[in-house]
Structure 1
Amino acid sequence: MSAVELNDVVKRYGALEVVHSVNLNVEQGEFVVLVGPSGCGKSTTLRMVAGLEEISGGTVSIGGRLVNRVAPKDRDVAMVFQNYALYPHLNVAENIAFGLRVRREKKDVIDAAVKEAAAILDLTPYLARKPADLSGGQRQRVAMGRAIVRKPQVFLFDEPLSNLDAKLRTQMRAEIKRLHKRMGVTSIYVTHDQIEAMTLADRIVVMNGGRVEQVGTPMELFLKPANAFVASFLGSPPMNLLRATVVSMDGEPKARIDAAGAETAILRLPKTSGTSLRADQRILVGLRPEHVAVGMDASADVQEIAATVDLFEPLGSEALLHTRISGQPIVAKIETPADVETLLQIGRLQIPVGRLHVFDAESGKAVNGHA
């Protein structure tokens, strides 16, 4: 039985439909991340699970129980918000214990639960402090502690790390992952940050425009995106997408890259895409930046192609090389070379044909199977 089940869930504000027939099964103990750009409906979907937004259509079940008309406090879920939602006049221990006091639990039960949560989250030294005396990361841990002591069926996280700086976000990601591994509670997590999604999730749900684009493990979505939106949303930097037209040369379909005031380039396409393409079809050819090679020997599955260099961005041990093929931008993620000046003079890139993705330009859907 799924811990959380959404069947054809819809949300409307008057005549405006913002979430369209979302279907999702979250298994017991699973960590599922809803990811997508601002306004895609991910937080609204989470709030419908929590009961903070009324469901306009479809059903939500938690632990096999239909909860469409169940009050938030009776759904046996605990929610961690972006803004911490701590009581400033209460200390850490009192904030963690607040939900248990509302439920009129016994004092010894409350004290034991607070001590356990504080130990898990390394908050024991701060139990007497007020929220104003804590860092952002410590405040978020207090909010998580308040959720932990309730021992819910489901944890719901609504962009909990958005207010933290980059270093704290990295630390808190690791803490949330360790917490889930230790407690094993079913969790649904909302973020617009694809790095958070990739590092935390057992499965990712990519949303766009109130619809689910694709559901799968992080590597399934990274290696086999269902459409150009998923391909370009996941990955840092995002996948390169080149506008092109299918042409037939030597009996095999190839891609003629649209030239933006430059010489037209012809790319071979993966054999897996051949039967799905037609002549003159408008397509997008996708390639991950980390799969673009520079200065290697061409082989049977590697095509060398003319390119011009626009910009070099050193990131430490790695670097981003911004180039253009037929006037269209393509980024390569490479090891930082010892001789940058020589690198900037390169006139060719090596493209691994077997790693190319092909998408229909009109629908955005993938038209090849990538291994």
Structure 2
Amino acid sequence: MSSNPNVTLNKVYKRYGDVEVVKGIDLAIEKKEFIVLVDPSGCGKSTTLRMIAGLEGISDGEVGVAGRVVNNVAPKDRDVAMVFQNYALYPHLNVYDNISFGLKLRKANKEEVEASVKEASSILGLDQYLERRPADLSGGQRQRVAMGRAIVRKPEVFLFDEPLSNLDAKLRTQMRAEIKRLHKRLGVTTVYVTHDQVEAMTLADRIVIMRDGKIEQIGSPMEVFTKPVNTFVASFMGSPPMNLIKGVMVQEEAGFFIKLKDNKVPVPAREGCTFTEGQKVYLGIRPEDMYLSSNGLNNFERISCHVDLVEPLGAEALLHIKLDGQDAVVKTDSRNTSIDEMSESSEIFLNLDYLHIFDGVTENSIY
């Protein structure tokens, strides 16, 4: 990371009376970076975004934009543009006037307004809708208008507050791609808030995972997916989430094993990882790293299970299984195996190359 980030949060707190909503977070966002703040609903991500925008005051700490502290700077003077969940369009104005509204407030000349609106409209595919009012547009088109209003400001930072949550699944997928292309084309620093981990994985350069007003982990999508720092991140990122199965460490002549009830899983030796006999742990394994066959696996363990339910999803299927009385999910290719065969499975194979272990008390990653 550079020594001159574009947006900074330095020990930022937000309190409402005695209730602490954001608890001393530190974050540095690079110029042109696409950052996604993600957490379960109500854990502080939208409040954090609104503090960057200036729509919420901060209780302690500093917020910086483009090298200056903006704690006491009005929202309109922070050089940020925000796109809201509810679009916030003026219903009596047409698309052209909605997009140009902010420029006109700034007393921009007519030529500048026309050129800016034309550029934004072209980028977002709105040319044929400029005379329409919001009521005559689809949800996706209204969201593009809201984005156009942000683009014409040519801000230092774009802020997106769950902009796709009101759209149906197909439109969300389409708009995700449009937002990604827009960022690639404009190269503007972007902070995006969502509770949808699929949006976070597909859009972000780095993901900031929050819980109860604190940052749990910051990393690239693949870093937080493959190296979660604790059980919260492991179970939050991924669809379906990582399986977390309670066990106890036992040491034998061959090394350490995770003892479940009837099954026992060997732990391949890894430098820097130490355990103690009787240590309570969570065995972590993602659904896609569990198989009905050992074909193609170099480092695996066969364990017995009982299949409760099969969910066919086209090319894939989800098997809901019981492992020594504990729930787990297996994601498998359904094109070469019938539903009946899946339902009758009595064993699965764990890919030990992708085994995770979390401490049973702290819930932090230890392997």
Q: TM-score range by the shorter chain?
A: over 0.9
C-alpha separation between the residues in 1 aligned to 2:295 and 2:95? 60
Give the aligned residue type for 1:357: H
Out of 181-190 and 13-22, give the one that drifted further: 13-22
SS of alignment partner, residue 244 of structure 1: strand
**Of 263, 277, 281, which residue of structure 1 is paired with 2:275?**
277
1:335-346 alignment runs, 5 A limit? 335-336=333-334, 337-346=336-345
Q: What CA distance in whole angstroms lies between the structure 1 residues aligned with 2:273 and 2:110?
A: 69
Identical-pair percentage = 57
Q: Distance in 2 between matches of 1:66 and 1:238?
A: 39
Matches of 2:80 and 2:118, distance apart in 1 = 21
Alignment partner, residue 232 of structure 2:
229
Q: Residues of 2 paired with 1:99 and 1:343: CA distance?
A: 58
Root-mean-square deviation (Å): 1.3
Is 1:103 aligned with 2:106? yes
Counterpart CA distance in 1 for 2:204 and 2:297 is: 36
Please give the alpha-carbon distance, in whole angstroms, between the structure 1 residues aligned to 2:353 and 2:118: 55
8 Å Cα contact 1:252/1:274 also seen in 2: no
Equivalent residue runs for 1:130-169 within 5 Å: 130-169=133-172
Task: List per-residue Cα deviations over 1:173-230 (Å, max 9, x = no partner).
Answer: 0000000000000000000000000000000000001000000000011111111111
**Alignment gaps of 5+ in structure 2:** none
Paired with 1:272 and 1:352, the residues of 2 have a C-alpha distance of 15
The residue number in structure 1 matching 2:350 is 351
The one-letter amino acid paired with 1:227 is N
User: For residue 22 of structure 1, what is the aligned residue in structure 2?
Assistant: 25
Deviates more, 1:136-145 or 1:348-357: 348-357
| Pick aligned residue for 1:267 from 242, 260, 265 | 265
Q: What secondary structure sits across from 1:34 in the alignment?
A: strand
Corresponding residue of 2:128: 125
Give the corresponding residue for 2:48.
Answer: 45
Aligned residue identity for 2:82:
M
Q: Which residue of 1 aligns with 2:292?
A: 294
Q: Residues 230, 135 of structure 1: CA spacing in aligned structure 2 closer, same or farther, 3 A cutoff?
A: same
Aligned to 1:325: 323
Displacement of 1:281: 1.2
Amino acid at match of 2:171: L
TM-score by length of 2: 0.97
Which amino acid letter does the alignment assign opposite residue 238 of structure 1? Answer: P
Q: 1:300 to 1:168 in 2, by over 3 A?
A: closer
Q: In the aligned structure 1, how far is the partner of 2:253 from the partner of 2:305?
A: 24
State the Cα distance separating 1:274 from its structure 2 match.
Answer: 7.6
> Which residue is equivalent to 1:303?
301
Q: Does residue 1:365 correspond to 2:364, yes or no?
A: yes
CA distance in 2 between counterparts of 1:300 and 1:178 reads 39
Of stretches 298-307 and 342-351 in structure 1, the one that deviates more from structure 2 is 298-307
213, 216, 241: which one pairs with 1:213?
216
Following superposition, the deviation at residue 345 of structure 1 comes to 1.4
8 Å CA contact retained: 1:273, 1:367: no
Q: Aligned in 2, Cα 1:168/1:221: closer, same or farther, shift over 3 Å?
A: same
C-alpha change, 1:299 and 1:186, in structure 2 (3 Å) is closer
Aligned residues of 1:298 and 1:304 also touching (Cα < 8 A): no
Alpha-carbon distance between aligned partners in 1 of 2:337 and 2:275, rounded to the nearest angstrom = 42
User: Where in structure 2 are the equivalents of 1:156-195 lying within 5 Å?
Assistant: 156-195=159-198
**Aligned-pair CA distance for 1:347:** 1.0
Native 8 Å contact 1:246 1:282 kept in 2: yes
- Do 2:100 and 2:117's aligned partners in 1 also have CA atoms closer than 8 Å? yes
Provide closer, same or farther for how the CA distance between residues 298 and 204 of structure 1 changes in structure 2, counting only shifts above 3 A: closer
Instruction: For 1:324, give the aligned amino acid.
Output: K
| Displacement of 1:297 | 4.4
> C-alpha distance in 1, partners of 2:35/2:60?
22
Structure 1 residue 298 displacement after superposition = 8.8
TM-score (norm 1): 0.96
Measure, in 2, the Cα distance between the counterparts of 1:334 and 1:199: 22
Contact 1:284 1:360 in 2 (8 A): yes
Deviation at 1:14, TM superposition (A): 1.0
Write the distance in 1 (CA, Å) between the matches of 2:272 and 2:309: 34
Asked if structure 2 preserves the Cα contact closer than 8 Å seen for 1:36 and 1:192, the reply is yes
> Where does structure 1 differ by over 3 angstroms across 4 or more consecutive aligned residues?
297-300
Q: C-alpha distance in 2, partners of 1:55/1:185?
A: 24
Once residues 226 and 275 of structure 1 are traced to their aligned partners in structure 2, the CA distance between those partners, rounded to angstroms, is: 14
Q: Which residue among 42, 63, 66 is the counterpart of 2:66? A: 63
